Amino acid sequence: QPCVPLQANVINLKTFLSAVRLAHQGNDTSVLPLSPLVPAKNSDVEKPKTKMIITSRRDYPLTKSFPFSLEHLQTSYCKLARIDSRVLCLRRLRKLDLSLPCRIGQLSRLRFLSAARNKLPFLPWDFRNLSLENLDLFGNPFEQPNPLVPNIQLKIPLTLLECAARATVNHRIPYGCHLLPSHLCKDLEVAKTCRCGSACLSSFIQITVTMNLHHVAHTVVLVDNMGGTDAPVLCYFCSLHCYSQFLDRHHG
């Protein structure tokens, strides 16, 4: 796991693990040269970083990773076109202030989210999985959703690759970079989910639908000066059948 860097003296760690094994088997551990327990000096111990505020593009970490212990991350004025997926590794994150990666719904502990005065035309599809205390999306140029004007990326018949990829995700077939080329693994990780629960990768119908932000947040800052709390969310369908069922239900 590249997300969680673990640091230890390798030799001491191996000795310690051997001692644990011996002790577990009921053997004498005194034969092993365990290092004496010298209290760590203050300078040896680096406190886990929980807060990071980046206010210029210069300071944005490009080669280093974010500290995995972050609970509060703010990146403002960095002119980021998109946020890299490294943010998704920050499983302790409680407060995030930036524009939105497409799988933001994975951040199950996120409670405070601000993406005010950004350039978001709509919200990513799994935004609806969030469970927030406070949400501020004021001042974004949200598009007016129009489910009757779909973006059709559906290729019929489905390619063999699309069929295989859908089956892999739908049946939760284990995969990894030891089995598949890494670009396929990346594609599978960002598979979209149709309303029917099925996965789709590069063959889909996309629309935006209106979501009331109170579905995902207890306190919602108005999105505009008109008092609105609705925002457009991307929505995917795996087939014409699923799309027409959606239309029947909402406009029939």
Q: Where are the beta strands (DSSP E) in the chain?
A: 51-54, 72-75, 95-97, 112-114, 132-136, 151-152, 192-193, 199-200, 205-212, 217-221, 230-237
Nearest approach in angstroms of CB 239 to Zn ion is: 5
Regarding 152 and contact with Zn ion (CB under 5 A), the answer is no
Nearest approach in angstroms of CB 128 to Zn ion is: 16
Q: How many chain residues interact with Zn ion (CB under 5 A)? A: 5
Nearest approach in angstroms of CB 190 to Zn ion is: 17
Contact, 146 vs 245, CB < 8 A? Answer: no
Residue 123's region, left for phi above 0, alpha for psi from -120 to 50, else beta, is beta
Q: Which is nearer to Zn ion, 3 or 196 (CB)?
A: 196
Residue 67's region, left for phi above 0, alpha for psi from -120 to 50, else beta, is beta
Regarding 203 and contact with Zn ion (CB under 5 A), the answer is no
Contact, 232 vs 143, CB < 8 A? Answer: yes
Nearest approach in angstroms of CB 243 to Zn ion is: 8
Name residues contacting Zn ion, limited to 228-247 (CB under 5 A): 238, 242
Regarding 194 and contact with Zn ion (CB under 5 A), the answer is yes
Regarding 169 and contact with Zn ion (CB under 5 A), the answer is no
Return the residue of 196, 210, 218, 240 that touches Zn ion, per CB under 5 A: 196
Regarding 154 and contact with Zn ion (CB under 5 A), the answer is no
Tracing tokens 């889909």 back to the chain, one arrives at 204
Nearest approach in angstroms of CB 159 to Zn ion is: 17
Cβ-Cβ contacts under 8 Å for 104 (sequence gap 6 or more): 110, 124, 126, 127, 130
Q: Which is nearer to Zn ion, 104 or 194 (CB)?
A: 194
Q: Which is nearer to Zn ion, 110 or 242 (CB)?
A: 242
Regarding 205 and contact with Zn ion (CB under 5 A), the answer is no
Antiparallel, parallel or unpaired: β 95-97 and 112-114: parallel
Residue 200 tokens, joined: 């789709």
Q: Interface with Zn ion by CB under 5 A: which residues?
A: 194, 196, 198, 238, 242
